[in-house]
Amino acid sequence: MLHHVQMSFQRPHPSPSQSHTQHFKLTRRTTFCSVPTLTREPSPRLAHILALVDYSTSKTSTMATFFEKNKKNFQDVTIVEGKVDTSQFLDASKDLVGLFDLFGSTAFGVVQSDMNGNIKKIQDRLMTNPIQNGTLQDLVLAEKGEKTKTATQGLLWLMRGLEFTAVGLRRQIDNKDEELAKSFTEAYNATLTKHHSMLVRPIFKLAMKSCPYRKDLFEKLGQDQTLVWEQFVAWVEGLEKIVDIIKAFYLEGNYGKGL
């Protein structure tokens, strides 16, 4: 049995000396009543609310996928009249380089280093005049007018690295039983190998053999595998679209000549 205290306030008539002050008299009535134990289980409604809060917190802290953590995904890069936004493209490319961190092998450092070097060339050019170099196409044309090719060369080689990645990941979509080492070895043979010297090829081919198992990589991409797969396919398709745009632009203007 617990005391149940009820409070009520009575407002007395103010005396002349209290004309500018309000006083309240507190009275207490005490009754005895039976109340449930204070350690009772929460109501179904409260339990449901607590569960939602716990799920939301858990999803925010532990369930975000690789793609949700990215600053910019390729399918979200702005493309206006066939022109690719330079800044957004660079953000998406940096996030792609981060994908190789999930491979868990230092051998892929050579791939990342190559991509990061080319990203820097484009970034440096963009910073000189963000408006003039606002799209990849405008950047290349601006360098052509100045008879320089540093960022143009960087974009060309970055595009080749992105194409290599897109081909390897496309094989993962089309061949769900194929391991990453097989996908990226075939992708290298179809893309980069023709641009590399005899000294560089063995280094990259060694990196391809250090790929993790397919299952391990996809687990690192996120807990919800259905969601991961949906986002993965959209990401690869966005990457392929941008690679195709850049390739067509370089081919049309012969901007890669001698690079």
pTM above 0.85, yes or no: no
Q: Report pLDDT for 63.
A: 87
Q: Report pLDDT for 91.
A: 98
Strands 25-33 and 2-10 turn out to be antiparallel
2-21 core/surface letters (b: 16 or more CB in 10 A; e: else): eeeeeeeeeeeeeeeeeeee
Q: Give, in degrees to the nearest 5, the angle at Cα 217 between 216 and 223.
A: 85
Q: Report pLDDT for 49.
A: 60
User: If 0-12 CB within 10 Å is exposed, 13-18 middle and 19+ buried, where does residue 231 land?
Assistant: buried
Name the nearest CA neighbour of 140 among 157, 118, 148.
Answer: 148
What lies within 8 Å, CB to CB, of 172 at 6+ separation is 178, 180, 183, 214
Q: Report pLDDT for 249.
A: 98
Q: Report pLDDT for 31.
A: 41
Residues of the chain short of pLDDT 50, as ranges, are 1-39, 53, 55-61
Residue 138 · residue 215 · CB < 8 Å? no
Q: Report pLDDT for 47.
A: 61
Domains of the chain: 64-253 (1.10.3520.10)
